[in-house]
Structure formats: structure tokens, C-alpha cells
Amino acid sequence: MSIALRLSLIVCSLLILFFVMRRIKKSGLEITDSIFWLFISAALIVIAVFPQIAYWAAGLLGFDAPANFVFCCGIIVLLVRTFAQDQKICQLKKRLMTLVQEEALRNVK
């Protein structure tokens, strides 16, 4: 893993950490969401500091380069996160529709 990739992983993880802490202070982020992003930040730092983990996992899973493994894992994690957020949004839309309909029925009387 190149030095440039390792440095970019560290910089990205520190930026994530900074933005998460800032949002927590402003109460703009739920605890469960902040734990997820803090975990991602810690994982990036671990991979950047110990690139042997990426080499081992890339070899085990058949990736040509550890960088490909890191990017593939990042994409997969973000896809799973997006799916989970879509589920939450769907539930909130249903709840909002129910509340709007109940309020409309109350106003008719």
C-alpha cells in the first residue's frame, strides 16, 4: 500500500472524526449514527497504520492489490449504510402519512 494512500486514509479518518465531533456538539447527529462514523474512522486509521491487515485480507479474498480491497470494503459498507437509511426513511414516510391522515380526519369533525 503506497504512502499516498496511507496518508489519504489517515486524513480522511481525521476529517470524519472532526465532522462527527462537531455534529455531536451541535446535537445534529444521533448517537447510533455517530458510533457508526467513529467506527469507520477508527477502521481507516487501523488500516493506514497497519497495512499488513489489508495485504492479508486482499490475499485471502483474491484481490490484486490491497488498495482495491480497501475501496471495495468502503463501497460495500456505504451501500449497506444507504440501504439501512432507506429503510428508516420509508418507515418515517409511512408514519408521517398516518399522522397527516389522522390530523385531517380530526379537522373534518
Q: Where are the domains of the chain?
A: 3-108
Instruction: Give the model's confidence band at 72: pLDDT under 50 very low, under 70 low, under 90 confident, else very high.
Output: very high
Cβ neighbours for 13, distance < 8 A, ≥ 6 positions apart: 40, 41, 42, 44, 45, 48
Taking only the tens place, the pLDDT of each residue in 23-40 is: 888 877 788 888 888 888
In this predicted structure, the answer to whether residue 91 has a pLDDT above a threshold of 90 is yes
Mean pLDDT computed over 74-82: 93
